[in-house]
Structures are given as C-alpha cells and as structure tokens.
Structure 1
C-alpha cells in the first residue's frame, strides 16, 4: 500500500507502508550507542571537526538517529529524482517515485530506446547522491564546532550519500551499476543478450550478499537486498525476452480464424466446438453475428451433465471481460491480461469486439517465435 505525500515536477512521491515500520527501527539502530561510535569513526575521517560519540547525551542520540533516518530517505528521494530528471531529458515520462524499505524506485512509462539513454539515466542517480554527499561535506566547514549534534547528523548524511552512490554502482542488475553494465554491453550486442549477462551478474552478487548477510555477519537488511536483486534480475531478464519475442506484433495479429458459437446453442453442442478449435474459450455471437460475450471451459464445468441439453451458452457467457484495442502491442496486451488477473479478453476495433485473445494465444505465439527468432 502506497501513500502519495507530494509531487515534484508533476511526479507523485509515494511512501510504501513498509517505510512507516522501518523508519523507527532505522532510527533506533542509528541512535544506539555502539552504532554511533562506528559512525563517528567514519565522520571523523571526512569532517574538519572531530566529533565524540561518547560525549553525546541520550536525547541527542535519538535526535541524531531520527534525523539521520529521515535524512537518508530524503537523500534516496533526491537520488531517484536524479534518475527522473535524466529520463525526462529524453522525453521519457516518470509515472511515480516510491520509497520503501529497501530504498526507492522510479517508475518509467517506457524503457530507454538507446544504450546511451539508459547509461545516463542510470548514472544520474549516483551522481546526484555524490553531489548531495559533497554538499554535506562542504556544510561541515561552516557549521560551528560547538554544534556537535548538527555536525554529527550532517557528517553522517555525507557518509551515507557517498556510500549510497558507491553501493548503487556495483554491477548487480537491476541496481544502477547493473543498468550501466547492460547499457555498455548493448553497444555491440543485442539488448536481450546484454540483459541476460547483466542479470547473471546481478544473481551472482545476490548470492554473495546472502552469504555475507547470513554466514559472515548476520544482516537481515543485506539478505533482503540480495533477495530483491535476485527476483528483480530474473524478472527483468524474462520481461526483456518476452518483449523481444513479441516485438512488431499487435494484439490483433494474435487473433486466429476460430469458431464462434451462437448464444442460443446448448452446452451439449459446445464441447465439440471447443475440442475442434483446440481452445478453452470461444466467442459468443448474437443473431447478427456480433460478439456479445465469451464462453469458457471453466464456466461449462459448473453445469450439471443433466442440464447440458437445456442450458444455453448465452446464459453462461461472460460479458464483462477486459477490452483491448486491436492496435495495442502484443507485449502491452499481455501485461494488461496479467495486471487484470484474467486469462481472456475482448479485442476490439472502433469500439466493437472482433475476437478473443487468451493467454493460450500468447503461449502459442511465444513457442513459435522462440523456435524461429535468434537473439
């Protein structure tokens, strides 16, 4: 569940509910005495003003923890806005930015069409984080030494932003470094091949992170990051392959000449038609031949055998199926079916249904193109 909290450049900034649970935990982790001593070591390495964690009052510790936790996610927002700014420079719409337990996600309306576009969009986030980190370092030179809490908080944000930039540049797809790797690989090989290599690198890093998070130093956050990278890398690889296999096809291209069944036909006569058409669904037409619904095998299963010769298809037909324009790309149509959690939809032209498309149609086309298209 996400909540929109503000808009920047017209882009909704959303907070995932997981963030409301994680922020207090992060503030507690940062504000604990042992952690502050570790952070102080890093801060003193970059700050012109030395800070002493042991001298902080208890109230100061929790104030620093809360400020650093919120500041970190403000930094993540700026990081994602860096991606968004670069994407908009290439006329790519940014639909939203979502902050969640593992960071932020900028959702683009479409993927970059050229390797150079993906490269600059990917590096824009880490560059933004570096600039924020450098800005915080610069602030340390003007903040009074007596303002210990402020020095500590700003120094911590400087370190966090620099680490954020460097960590994101690891070539672990789909992190920024992994997308940079794919962009560079795509200069002289197919996009699918580049994605596969980058995804394998991401999976390798995920395995390493799991080992580090479980065996070397117990870190649930690192394990969560590893699982996210593994799932996202494999999903992205499959999505790109699907897009390549379905490229150049509209959903209307998937429609085959198949039988339809009149609304007044009985269930008894439909089974043979489904078997002959080798489908699990058929269009239902009225007396004028216009498509008015669909009959599916799952609907037929609910009919008792004794009622086969008295129940008509029109009584069982589904009439509120999703509608997809015939000119829609096959890939987008498949996405709509999955998003709607349905296996069949009307394909229409000029507002009138011209046929049915189902996941079985996509499976058949994918099987055919997988055997004939070389990547």
Structure 2
C-alpha cells in the first residue's frame, strides 16, 4: 500500500504528500462543521489548513535550496500532518553550513509573516490574533501571519533534530568535537521530547506525535554520527573484498552468471577493452538482464553506469557517503597503479554488508572472550 503520493516537482525537487494528510483535512472539515454548523466555515477551515501547509512547503524549500548552495541535493520533500520533511542526501559537514541550512526554514516563515504584515499595514487592515469564522480576507491573512511566526518560533526550539536543535549542534561544533556536539544536542532534544509527550497526553495529542518524532530522530541521528565517527577510523582496505573477478563489456551475461554461481561475489566491476572502469554489474542487474535479454546479451547492456569509485587508503565514512549518492550499492576500489597506462587497476569491491561485517568483528574483539560468551 502506498503511503504517500507525488504532487509534483518544484525546482527539481519531488514533492510528496503523506496519506495521513487526507485524514487531517477530514478531521479539520468535520470538527469545524460540528462547531459552527456552517459549510462556508468548513470550507474556509480546510482552505486555511492547505495554506498553512503551503507555508510548511516553502519552509522545507528554504532548507533544500540553502543546502543546494553547498552542493547538497534534496531527494524529496514530504508533507505530513505534523509538518514537512526535506530528505537531504547528506547533512552539511561544516558547522557554518549546517547553521545556515537549519535557520533557512524558520527564516522563510519570518519572511512570509513580514510580507503579510506589510500588506496589512499598507491596506489599513487591523492585525487580529484570530477570527474563528475566517470571515473576510484581512482576518484570514492576519491569522496566517501569526501561524507563520508560530512555525518559526516552534521550529527554533532546541529539540534536536528540529531546526533549533540542528542550529544548537552547529554552534556547539564550532568550538568542539562534532560527535560530542551531537550527543549534547540529542540529549537535550530527548529531554524536550519528554516534556512534549507529557503536554501532549494532557492537552494536545499532536504534541505527543511530535515528541515521538523528536525522540526517534534524536536517537537515530546520534547513532548515525557515532557510526560515522567509528567508520572514519578505518581505511577502506580494512573492509573491502580483495578476491574480485572482473568482467569485460563484451562478456556475455551467461559468463557473468557462471561467475556468480561459482563463488561468493555478487557484484562485478566492468572494464572496457582499453582497461577503463565503465560500470558495475550487480546481481540484480544480471538477473534482470537474463530475464529481459537472454544469456547471450553483453554485460554492457545490463551493467549499472551510475557508480562511485574509491581508493583503498580512503576512510570508510567517505565510501558510505558515496554509496548514498549513487544507485549502485557497490564500490569498485581502484589504485593509482594504472594511471600512466591509462587503465584502472581494480584491487577490491566494497558494499555495506562488508562494512557491517567489519564492525561486527571489531565489536566482538572489543568485548573479549568472556563478554562474548556472556552475550551468547
């Protein structure tokens, strides 16, 4: 079952709306009608909710476009009943960049509020805090002004991974260790999540959902940063597979299938006739190619051309970052030995499974025989 629907593409970013958003609109329509017994008021309530989420979308676009300035792409933006989520390919590594990306969203809401304020003042309309019936244009935009200010202020609460929490982590990282800054921000975020949870149970259920999001997000991101720090201490050569068979673009898929069945290697680097690395034939691509084109088709017709490469001396966190940026989930490891001859020398292959195995072995060794036996 699909949980979200694509609504379009804005400035190269896919926009999705979560299925539960429809439930939110239904809830707004029903509660408004039951409270006021007026179809016009019900329609106005639904319209106002949609306009609020247009502001949320602009908020997320602020994050995405600021991240783009630093070379970070946004996979997509999804609108949820509790807000929006912009999925960046990675977080900025420099504290200054992360600070700007984090503050860009609230800054958009402040800009919207100031724009509405300017229009209201120029037109001589009063600045009202709220009109339940939303009667007239001025009360509508007056409420939208206050909503945008509220969104900006709420998102600046230092509850990591909300915007305020990310800004706090960036500020802490300026004068210290990034991992320690994340630990502090995550602990504070989880503490605020507990407060949100209690308030949500007592007064507003939406706060309880936000509390859950903050708690899970803080725990997940803190674990991710810890893992990245661990990976940064290991070179790629510590985890890569060195017993690697290499295919040629002119090899048939039948040949590749024999290699697959005769060993443990599932992904094969592919070289051109001149010895240049031009692709990776994954097990998935091989099976698809056999099904669609038959065993006599060439490897070149089925290989994945969107792949990354790495050097064995680079650190594992670099490899993980590159894996996340490509469709191919396997990285050929290339040395500089063949540069003079204009060819690539493949010395290994690396996947996330290889990295996971290295970490498991290191953890077992760190526990020691006594602790390892106790764990079983």
TM-score by length of 1: 0.66
Kept in 1, the 8 Å contact 2:309–2:331? The answer is no
Measure the CA separation in 2 of the matches of 1:74 and 1:166: 18
- 1:4 deviates by 2.3
| Residue 137 (structure 2) pairs with residue 150 (structure 1) | yes
Match of 1:197 in 2: 184
Q: Does 1:244 align with 2:229?
A: yes
For structure 1, which segment, 248-257 or 121-130, has the greater mean C-alpha deviation from structure 2 after superposition?
248-257
2:316 paired residue number:
330
1:97 to 61, 77, 93: 77
Higher radius of gyration, 1 or 2: 1
Aligned position for 2:168 = 181
- Decide whether the 8 Å contact of 1:27 with 1:69 is kept in 2: no
Q: Following the alignment from structure 2 to structure 1, what is the Cα–Cα distance between the partners of residues 42 and 345?
A: 60
Change (3 A) 1:293 1:33: same
Partner secondary structure for residue 136 of structure 2: helix
Cα distance between partner residues in 1 of 2:94 and 2:265: 44
TM-score by length of 2: 0.66
SS of equivalent residue, structure 2 residue 263? strand
The corresponding residue for 1:6 is 8
Partner of 1:106: 86
- State the shift of 1:348 in Å: 6.7
Determine if the alignment matches structure 1 residue 294 to structure 2 residue 286: no
Query: What's the secondary structure of 1:12's corresponding residue?
Result: strand
Tell me, yes or no, if structure 1 residue 255 matches structure 2 residue 252. no
Contact 2:72–2:90 under 8 Å retained in 1: yes
1:71-130: CA deviation from partner (whole Å, max 9, x where unpaired): 111010011111122212222222222111221111212211211111111111111101
CA contact (8 A) 1:14 1:99 kept: yes
**3-state secondary structure, aligned to 1:173:** coil
State the shift of 1:69 in Å. 0.7
Any gaps of 5 or more consecutive residues in structure 1?
A: 35-56, 259-285, 297-318, 339-343
SS of residue matched to 2:85 = strand
8 Å contact kept, 2:109–2:151: yes
Task: String of CA shifts for 1:297-319, please: whole Å, max 9, x gaps.
Answer: xxxxxxxxxxxxxxxxxxxxxx9
Q: In the TM superposition, what are the counterparts of 1:1-375 in structure 2 within 5 Å?
A: 1-29=3-31, 33=35, 58-141=38-121, 142=123, 148-214=135-201, 216-217=202-203, 219-247=204-232, 249=234, 251-255=236-240, 292-294=262-264, 320=283, 327=310, 330-331=316-317, 354=348, 357-358=353-354, 359-365=356-362
**Alignment CA distance shift 1:369-1:126 (3 Å):** farther
Distance 2:16 2:348 in 1: 39
Tell me if structure 1 keeps the 8 A contact 2:323–2:331: no
Give how far 1:134 is off. Answer: 2.3
Aligned mates of 1:104, 1:138 — CA distance in 2: 27
- Decide whether aligned partners of structure 1 residues 363 and 29 sit closer, same or farther in structure 2, where only a CA change above 3 A counts: farther
Taking a change above 3 Å as real, the CA distance of residues 292 and 134 of structure 1, as seen in their structure-2 partners, is farther
Deviations 1:119-177 (A, max 9, x none): 111111111101112222333342878x9332232222111111110000000000000
- For each residue in 1:322-374, what CA deviation from the matched residue of structure 2 results, as whole angstroms up to 9, or x when unmatched? 99866286347668999xxxxx9796767989467543223224667999xxx
Offset at residue 245 of structure 1 (A): 0.8
Between the aligned partners of 1:346 and 1:176, the Cα distance in structure 2 is 33
Q: Partners of 2:125 and 2:188 in 1: how far apart?
A: 46
Shift in Å at residue 5 of structure 1? 1.7
**Alignment check: 8 A CA contact 1:64 1:149 kept:** no
Seen in structure 2, the aligned counterparts of structure 1 residues 180 and 335 have a Cα distance that, compared at 3 Å, is closer
- Name the CA distance, whole Å, in 1 between partners of 2:261 and 2:200: 57
- The CA deviation at 1:63 is 2.4
Extract unaligned runs of 5+ from structure 2: 127-133, 244-255, 267-281, 286-303, 335-343, 369-376
